C-alpha cells in the first residue's frame, strides 16, 4: 500500500498548483488522473493535422500569468519550460453591418475606435481607464480573498476606510448589477455594449443575469492595461511545467489511474482506491478536483444528508461546442484586415442576441444563431502551425448539454453524435458571413461536442467549461454551497478544489492555491 501526505484526484491546473505548493513545503504528494494525459481542460494537441497545435478548451492564460500562485512559483515553472506568448491586441467584435470594435494595449487607438461611435462613450472610457488602477485594488482584493468571515470582515473594513460608506455601497451595487444594466447606464453605443457584454457569456453571465457586470468591466480594462497571455506552443505549457516541477520535488503525477472510491471512516478521509485495485493512503489530506456531484458518488455519501443533497443539486452552466480548424491562411474578415491582428474575435452582434441564445440553450434548444468566439492564437504564436499556416479555435456559446430540440427547426435529432456536424455547419455559416470564403481555407477540422467534452473530463458536465454556474446564488460565499467556499467537507481531511470552489473558473489557480495555503 502506497502512502502520501496528500492524495489529489484529477490533474487540472488547480490540483497541480495545490500539489506543487504543498510539495515546496515538504509534503509528499500524489496526483491521480483518469485520462491518458494531465491537464483537464488545459491541454493542447494536434487535433486536426500533424504540425497544427490546438488548445482543447482553455486558451487564455492571463489569469495564470497574473496570479499570486505564479508570482510565488514562477522561477521553478520557467525552469521547467513554461513560456508565454504576450498578446497586445486581446479582443474585438465584428458586426453584421461590416463594422468592428476592438480593445488593445494602444489606448489611443482604442479610444479613437470608441470615439468614432460616440465621443461621450470615449470620455466615459477615459474616466474608467483613469480610475482602473485604483478600483482594481478593491476588485482584485475581493476576488483573491478567502471566502471566510474573518477575511471578508478585513476586506470590508479596508474598503470602508479607503472609500467610505458611499464608495463601499457603490462597489456593492456594481457587483450586483447585470451586464446589461451596467452597460446601458454606462455607454450609449450598442456596439460597445455588445463588445464588452460578450465576455459575460464566457462565465455563464447572459446580459440580464445579476452579478455579471464585473466581467465585461474587467476584461475591457485589463485587456487595455495588460493585454492577454497565451501559452507558447499551446496552453499545455502550463500543465507540462507544473507536472515537471512536482516530479522534480519527488511528487507523483500518474495518468490512466482512475480513482473509484474515496475511503473514509470515523468521519475522516483515509485515502483512495484506484480502478486497478491499488489502495493509496493519505496521512493529511485527500483533495478532490471534482464536480460536486462526483464527490458524493466517490465517497458513497459524506454522512451529512443536507450537504450531499446540495452537492447533488449543484447547478451547471449550459454547454459549449468546440471547433478546431487548421487553416491555409487567416480568415479574410469582411470588416477589414485589422481584425487579423486580434487574439479573439467575438461574433456576438447585440445584447439581445446573446440573451436569446442563452435562453434557447437553457431550454435545451440548439440556438438558431449561436454566439461564436473565434480564437486566432497563431497571430501571436506562429509556433502552433507550419510556416504561413494558422489554427482557429472556435467556441460555440451557448449550446445545451442535453438537446431537447432545435430553435431553427432544422436539426431533428436530440443525439449529439448526430447533431454535431449540422450544428458545426451552422456555426461555420455564421463565420462565413463575417469572413467570406473561410471554408476554402480549411485544411482540417475537429468538432468536439458537449458530450465529448464531458466524456474526456467528467468535470465538464454537459460541456459546461466553467464547472458550474457563477450566478450569485452559487458564487462568493455560496460556491459551491454555503459554508464550504473554502473546499471543506463534512469528512475531515477531505477537501474539494477546482472551478466548483471559490474563486471559481478560469486559469488563475485560485481554488488550488488558496486550499494549499489553508492546509499549511
Distance CA 258, CA 208 (A): 40
Can you give the pLDDT at residue 156?
72
Residue found under cell 431550454: 363
Residue found under cell 443525439: 415
* 3-state SS class at 94: strand
Please give the grid coordinates belonging to residue 2. 502506497
CATH number of residue 289's parent domain: 3.50.50.60
Residue among 455, 442, 447, 443 nearest 426 (CA):
447
Task: Please provide the distance, in angstroms rounded to a whole number, between the alpha carbons at the two ends of the chain.
Answer: 25
- Residue 29, in any domain of the structure: yes
Please give the grid coordinates belonging to residue 132. 482602473
Number of domains in the chain: 1
Residue 470 structural domain: 2-41+59-83+234-314+463-519
Asked if 314 contacts 500 with a C-beta cutoff of 8 angstroms, the reply is yes
Q: Is pLDDT at 276 greater than 80 in this prediction?
A: yes
Torsion of CA 116, 122, 125, 129, to 10 degrees: 100
Q: Is pLDDT at 342 greater than 90 in this prediction?
A: yes
Residue found under cell 473561410: 438
- Residue 22, in any domain of the structure: yes
Residue found under cell 480513482: 259
Please give the grid coordinates belonging to residue 9. 484526484
Distance CA 171, CA 50 (A): 49
Task: Name the band, by pLDDT with cuts 50, 70 and 90, for residue 148.
Answer: confident
Residue found under cell 448539454: 401
* 3-state SS class at 371: strand
Query: What are the residues whose beta carbons fall under 8 Å from the beta carbon of 406, sequence distance 6 or more?
Result: 365, 366, 368, 412
Query: What are the residues whose beta carbons fall under 8 Å from the beta carbon of 438, sequence distance 6 or more?
Result: 327, 331, 332, 428, 431, 432
Q: What is the mean pLDDT of residues 281-307?
A: 97
- Residue 324, in any domain of the structure: no
* 3-state SS class at 391: strand
Residue found under cell 431537447: 404
Q: What is 208-276 written as a DSSP string?
A: T-TT-THHHHHHHHHHHHH-EEEETT-THHHHHHHHHHHHHTT-EEESS--EEEEEEETTEEEEEEETT
What does each C-alpha distance from 49 to 42, 237, 443 come to in angstroms?
A: 20, 20, 8
Q: Is pLDDT at 384 greater than 90 in this prediction?
A: yes
- Residue 401, in any domain of the structure: no
- Residue 252, in any domain of the structure: yes
- Residue 306, in any domain of the structure: yes
- Residue 261, in any domain of the structure: yes
Distance CA 87, CA 102 (A): 13
Q: What is the mean pLDDT of residues 330-345?
A: 98
Q: Which residue has the higher pLDDT, 222 or 168?
A: 222
Q: What is the mean pLDDT of residues 390-394?
A: 98
- Residue 281, in any domain of the structure: yes
Q: What is the mean pLDDT of residues 151-168?
A: 76
Helices (H), 34-148: 62-65, 68-79, 107-115, 119-143
Can you give the pLDDT at residue 158?
77
- Range from 143-152, 171-180, 323-332 that averages highest in pLDDT: 323-332
pLDDT digits (tens, 9 = 90+) for 200-239: 999 899 999 999 999 999 999 999 999 999 999 999 999 9
Q: Is pLDDT at 470 greater than 80 in this prediction?
A: yes
Amino acid at each position: 500500500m502506497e502512502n502520501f501526505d496528500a492524495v489529489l484526484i484529477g490533474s487540472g491546473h488547480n490540483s497541480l498548483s495545490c500539489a506543487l505548493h504543498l510539495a515546496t513545503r515538504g509534503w509528499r504528494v500524489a496526483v491521480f488522473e483518469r485520462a491518458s494525459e494531465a491537464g483537464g481542460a488545459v491541454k493542447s494537441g494536434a487535433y486536426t493535422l500533424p504540425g497544427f497545435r490546438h488548445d482543447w478548451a482553455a486558451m487564455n492564460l492571463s489569469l495564470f500569468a497574473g496570479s499570486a500562485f505564479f508570482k510565488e512559483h514562477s522561477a521553478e515553472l520557467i525552469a521547467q519550460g513554461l513560456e508565454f506568448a504576450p498578446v497586445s491586441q486581446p479582443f474585438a467584435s465584428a458586426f453584421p453591418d461590416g463594422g468592428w470594435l476592438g480593445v488593445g494595449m494602444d489606448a489611443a487607438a482604442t479610444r479613437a475606435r470608441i470615439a468614432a461611435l460616440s465621443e461621450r462613450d470615449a470620455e466615459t472610457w477615459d474616466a474608467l481607464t483613469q480610475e482602473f488602477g485604483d478600483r482594481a485594488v478593491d476588485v482584485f482584493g475581493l476576488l483573491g480573498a478567502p471566502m471566510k468571515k474573518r477575511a471578508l470582515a478585513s476586506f470590508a473594513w479596508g474598503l470602508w476606510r479607503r472609500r467610505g460608506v458611499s464608495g463601499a455601497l457603490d462597489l456593492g451595487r456594481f457587483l450586483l448589477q447585470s451586464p446589461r444594466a451596467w452597460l446601458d447606464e454606462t455607454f450609449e453605443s450598442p456596439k460597445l455594449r455588445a463588445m464588452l457584454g460578450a465576455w459575460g457569456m464566457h462565465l455563464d453571465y447572459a446580459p440580464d443575469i445579476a452579478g455579471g457586470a464585473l466581467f465585461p468591466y474587467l476584461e475591457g480594462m485589463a485587456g487595455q492595461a495588460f493585454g492577454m497571455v497565451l501559452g507558447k506552443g499551446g496552453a499545455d505549457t502550463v500543465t507540462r511545467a507544473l507536472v515537471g516541477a512536482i516530479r522534480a520535488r519527488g511528487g507523483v503525477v500518474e495518468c490512466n489511474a482512475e480513482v473509484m472510491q474515496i475511503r473514509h471512516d470515523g468521519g475522516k478521509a483515509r485515502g483512495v482506491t484506484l480502478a486497478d485495485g491499488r489502495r493509496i493512503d493519505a496521512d493529511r489530506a485527500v483533495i478532490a478536483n471534482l464536480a460536486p456531484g462526483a464527490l458524493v458518488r466517490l465517497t458513497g455519501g459524506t454522512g451529512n444528508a443536507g450537504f450531499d443533497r446540495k452537492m447533488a443539486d449543484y447547478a451547471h452552466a449550459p454547454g459549449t461546442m468546440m471547433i478546431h480548424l487548421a487553416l491555409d491562411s487567416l480568415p479574410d474578415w469582411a470588416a477589414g484586415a485589422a481584425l487579423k491582428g486580434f487574439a479573439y474575435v467575438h461574433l456576438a452582434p447585440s445584447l439581445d442576441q446573446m440573451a436569446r441564445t442563452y435562453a434557447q440553450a437553457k431550454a435545451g434548444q440548439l440556438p438558431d444563431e449561436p454566439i461564436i468566439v473565434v480564437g486566432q492564437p497563431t497571430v501571436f504564436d506562429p509556433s502552433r502551425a507550419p510556416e504561413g499556416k494558422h489554427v482557429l479555435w472556435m467556441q460555440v456559446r451557448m449550446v445545451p448539454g442535453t438537446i431537447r430540440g432545435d430553435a431553427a427547426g432544422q436539426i431533428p435529432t436530440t443525439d449529439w453524435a448526430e447533431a454535431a456536424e449540422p450544428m458545426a455547419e451552422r456555426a461555420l455559416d455564421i463565420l462565413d458571413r463575417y469572413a467570406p470564403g473561410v471554408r476554402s481555407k480549411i485544411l482540417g477540422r475537429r468538432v468536439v461536442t458537449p458530450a465529448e467534452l464531458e466524456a474526456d473530463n467528467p468535470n465538464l458536465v454537459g460541456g459546461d467549461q466553467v464547472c458550474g454556474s457563477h450566478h450569485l446564488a452559487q458564487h462568493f460565499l455560496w460556491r459551491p454551497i454555503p459554508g464550504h467556499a473554502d473546499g471543506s467537507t463534512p469528512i475531515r481531511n477531505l477537501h474539494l478544489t477546482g472551478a466548483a470552489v471559490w474563486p471559481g473558473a478560469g486559469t488563475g489557480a485560485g481554488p488550488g492555491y488558496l486550499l494549499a495555503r489553508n492546509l499549511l
